[in-house]
Amino acid sequence: MKPPICAICHKRFELTGDDCGLIYFRKRQSDIDWDKRMKETGAIGHPPYAAWFCKDHYKRAAELQNLSIDRALPMIREIIL
Ligand SMILES: [Zn+2]
């Protein structure tokens, strides 16, 4: 796993409480293939369909986790802080 750095604002943050953390998005075919490849080779890596979010972006990311990551990220970025 990557260290917790927000996928939107690239801020490094501490994992405190449940208002920040890792979000798993809907898997695309390429993500399903990735899972399969990892399982077959026994390798461990950061899933391409998962990303960290700080407390400023976690809530919005959680709302959009039924989308694939490539669709969700631009929508999360639209939030102006
Ligand atoms: Zn953030």
Residue pointed to by tokens 């461990």: 44
Amino acid 56 reads: D
As averages over each run of 10 residues, the pLDDT of the chain (81 residues) reads 85 90 97 97 94 95 97 87 51
Q: How close is the Cα of 35 to the center of ligand 1, in Å?
A: 26
And the tokens for 34? 């990735």
> Which are the contacts of 26, defined by CB distance < 8 A and separation ≥ 6?
49, 65, 66, 67, 68, 69
Separation CA 79–CA 16 (nearest Å): 22
User: What residues does each domain of the chain span?
Assistant: 21-77
pLDDT at site 2: 60
Residue tagged 């798993």 (tokens): 24
**Measured in angstroms, how far is the CA atom of residue 15 from the centroid of ligand 1?**
13
Return the pLDDT at 79.
65
